[in-house]
Amino acid sequence: MIPFQKIFTLMIRTFSKPMVEYFKKKQKLHQGSIFGRIFIAFGRRIYIVENWVNHRILKTAKARKTNYKDGALLEKGIETFSEVILYGILLGLPFWELYKGQLSAQ
């Protein structure tokens, strides 16, 4: 049996880097668009969550910087969004295969 999940995972990882870079360039050109603002807000939320996690788990100082540059927020938002999509696919595929196998076993 061909391991489709391993092939799919390798294919996703191979093609994800150039697509993320293209997406970053495209969003930086159209930063004022609605998607750009969404990614900036998402990046700001991710920075807040990272600061909170670092404070709670690593016990770092609570000096929280709240005014980040929009370019850094945009990049962080795009990277996090692409990681969420990538790992959602990678984790969703095995669960879908298990569900399909369970239905066929019944």
Q: Is residue 46 part of a domain?
A: yes
Give the residue numbers spanning the domain of 26.
19-94
Reported as a single tens digit per residue, the pLDDT across 7-26 is 766 766 676 677 677 777 77
pLDDT at position 65, please? 67
Q: Is residue 60 part of a domain?
A: yes
Q: Is residue 63 part of a domain?
A: yes
Q: Is residue 10 part of a domain?
A: no
Residues ≥6 apart with Cβ < 8 Å to 94: 5
Q: Which tokens go with 8?
A: 């799919």
Reported as a single tens digit per residue, the pLDDT across 62-102 is 666 667 888 888 888 888 888 788 778 878 888 989 999 88
Task: Label residue 16 exposed, middle or buried (CB < 10 Å: 0-12, 13-18, 19+).
Answer: middle
> How far apart, in whole angstroms, are the C-alpha atoms of residue 36 and residue 103?
42
Q: Is residue 102 part of a domain?
A: no
Torsion of CA 82, 87, 92, 97, to 10 degrees: 120
- Count up the domains in the chain and report the number: 1
Radius of gyration, CA atoms only, the chain: 18
pLDDT at position 77, please? 85
Confidence of residue 105 (pLDDT cuts 50, 70, 90): confident
Q: Is residue 100 part of a domain?
A: no
